[in-house]
Chains A and B, each alone.
Chain A
Amino acid sequence: MGRILMIVTIVVTVLLLAAGTLGAHGSSANLSTPDGVVKALFEDVGSKNWKAAYQLLSNKNAIDLPTFIRQAGGSDGDLRMVSSITKVTPKILRESDTEAQVRTDLQWTTAVGAIYGTRDLKTVKDGKDWKVEWPVEQQAKVPPQVIPVNFLRWDIVTRGADDDWGAQNVDAPRVRIVSMNAVEYEGGTVILGEIVNEDTVPGFVSVNASLVGKDGKTIGEESSFDKISHILLPKEVSPFRVDFPGVKLSAVKNVRMQPNSLLVPASADPTIGVLNQRFETDANGRKVLRGEMINESGQTVNIPHVLATFYDNSGKVIWVSDGYVDHALLPRTPQSFTLGLRPDIADKVQTYRVTVNTYSINRQQG
């Protein structure tokens, strides 16, 4: 009996070891194909199994483990650090006996919604298995320096409890919607436009819209949510977009707009430059807006949020697009961004404007 028990224990141990060895890159890992190794790599990244993922790289001499973790898993409190991969779809573009090019569509879940990305990865054959040549991101190094920040900050003194009732509080900033357009998109109605802070103080702004149907009744009420720059400094212009999914534009008789503003403490820092904005066609043949952001301040912007306004040849806003960048914006370090453009309006776009919202962990914005 004791002998049988010992044999069973040994067999189970061996089976578990084998299962553990085979399952190091996930149960479905197939390292014998280029797309299999890419899938295994991103599954390891998704489960934060960094060492296993690192073992699948062919160019370990070009990148060390900490750098790989930073590049694949995020750093500096960026959006990548608080996101997880939910879908990996590799597709072999070219394959030879020793090399293959794999296009991988990735879907990440984040607190601000799903983020999609496409990466073209080179894989190389290494013995029986394939390995991934990780595209090492060469980030410009900013030399140690002191960047003086002497921009304005607005603070507010509100009326006190002992003030007489005639003593007025400070008014909210004056904001104005300077353009508005209603379009139909994917069976719903989208209200687009721009809002400007006409005042000399910063404001927290939002735009609410109500759709009025042909019978005079309200058929939908929505707000711009994150399709707007909420903190508007004096004379700053922000696009806004209010989506009404499922409401046909033909059913709308009237649109009621309600711009709201609150006086909030704010800082004029950081200044973000958006450089070299241009239309390009991405790997999937879609027209995209690309560019680089540069943070001219000395503090890291953890999550940049890019907003693009597209205009037709009459200057009318015809679309507002936005996207979160999953890399932090380090001081004086360019960071690229890509925004998709609706294929059906690509021909109508005459000009565009890109602005950047910034979210910083260490900064008290409002």
Chain B
Amino acid sequence: MRIIQYALMLAICWFAAYVARAADVQAPSHAVAGNDVSLPTSGSGNATLFVFGPGTAIKKEVRLGDHVTLPLKRAGRYSAIVNGEQVQFDVAAAAPSDIAFLARPSRVPADRKDVIAGTVFLFDNNHNLVTSPTPVKFDLMVEGGQPQSRHVQSKDGVAYIKLDSGRKAGPAQFVATVGAKSVKRVVEETASDPCNLRIHATPNKDGLTVETDPVKDCAGNPVPDGTIVTITATSPKGRSTVDARIKKGIAKADLPPLQNATVSVAAGVVMGNEIHVGGGM
């Protein structure tokens, strides 16, 4: 009987020692990257604490029963080990303080649907991706045009939007704002294909000067200078072509004297009007 009592006593002590040892370190209730993380410990005496996590490996001598303070900068899942016992805890990212903003494309024709994409990645001041839902504001504006503004809630650290290009050409300011932090990108909204391309001809001392009306797209934006406008004159004598460059909104070409000729104009795959010169009507 006495032997049984000793055995039970031994088992209880062993269990108590086991329980006491398992409670050597506890997970913090709320841990945020960049702030000091406090790990409560229990028990008595000294022990060695090991902490492993994203890009982190810490070995520290601790006094059991105290709170151990650790400067953890990386968000993610950590493991803390004391006396062979392990607890796991999560460290969350801090509030967003850095924005990576990708705006695509860098250049887009005006007046097109869903052509400008903006993607925001939210980071805290330790470059941790902020995965908690966060409101992001996107603004797109061309000077003199209609501004667009949208709010998007980030998901898993990313906020994404697609916007239309405005009718007005010009450098569009594309701004992403999170809290007080803003990042600006420039998306060049360019004129689209020429619309209603027209030419007229006037005689000069050496032949004929053919000139376009101001070249604009269908939204009325001037087609950029340097754009090629091909002017072609076809007459019984042959064909003459000039790849004229738009300069100050107008393309101009000097052609040789023409008789009974048809002069046409094109820019890229867009055709313009035809005129007849030299009695070719």
Contact = CB atoms under 8 A, between A and B. Distances in A.
B227 A277 contact: no
Contact of A353 (B241, B242, B253): B241
A278 B238 contact: yes
A276 B106 contact: no
A299 B225 CA distance: 21
A151 B226 contact: yes
A234 to B, nearest CB: 4
Given A235-B229, A273-B254, A166 B100 contact: yes
Contacts of B238: 275-278, 291
A200 B104 contact: no
Given A235-B194, A296-B254, 8 more contacts: A152-B226, A166-B101, A171-B107, A200-B227, A235-B267, A276-B240, A291-B238, A355-B243
A57 interface: no
Contacts of B240: 273-277
B255 interface: yes
Nearest to A202: B226
Interface in A260-290: 268-269, 271-278
Contact of A234 (B100, B183, B227, B244): B227
Of all A-B residue pairs in the complex, the 6 with the closest CB atoms, nearest first, are A278-B238, A235-B268, A152-B226, A166-B100, A236-B228, A234-B227
Contact of A268 (B245, B253, B256): B245
Interface residues of A, number: 41
B224 interface: yes
A196 interface: yes
Q: Is the interface of B mostly helix, strand, loop or mixed?
A: strand
Interface in B83-116: 99-107
A167 interface: yes
Nearest to B247: A151
29 contacts: A151-B247, A152-B245, A154-B226, A164-B100, A166-B99, A167-B185, A168-B103, A168-B104, A168-B106, A171-B105, A196-B268, A196-B269, A233-B226, A233-B228, A234-B227, A234-B228, A235-B229, A236-B268, A237-B269, A268-B226, A271-B245, A272-B242, A274-B241, A275-B256, A291-B239, A296-B254, A353-B241, A354-B239, A355-B243
Given A152-B225, A200-B107, A274-B240, A233 B254 contact: no
B181 interface: no
Given A170-B107, A171-B105, A277 B242 contact: no
Contacts of A296: 242, 254
Nearest to A170: B106
A317 interface: no
Interface in A182-237: 196-202, 233-237
Nearest to A176: B269
Nearest to A199: B107
B215 to A, nearest CB: 10
A166 B121 contact: yes
Interface in A140-156: 150-152, 154
B46 to A, nearest CB: 45
A292 to B, nearest CB: 9
Interface residues of B, number: 43
A166 B102 contact: yes
Contacts of A150: 247
A202 B63 CA distance: 70
Contacts of B30: none
Contacts of A313: none
A117 to B, nearest CB: 22
A154 B107 CA distance: 15
Nearest to A272: B243
A346 interface: no
Contacts of A354: 239, 241
A281 to B, nearest CB: 15
B184 to A, nearest CB: 10
B239 A233 contact: no
Contacts of A167: 185
Contacts of B224: 200, 234
B126 to A, nearest CB: 16
B165 interface: no
Nearest to B236: A278
Contacts of B102: 166, 168
A30 to B, nearest CB: 42
Contacts of A200: 107, 188, 190-191, 223-224, 227
Contacts of B223: 200
B100 A276 contact: no
Contact of B241 (A201, A234, A273): A273
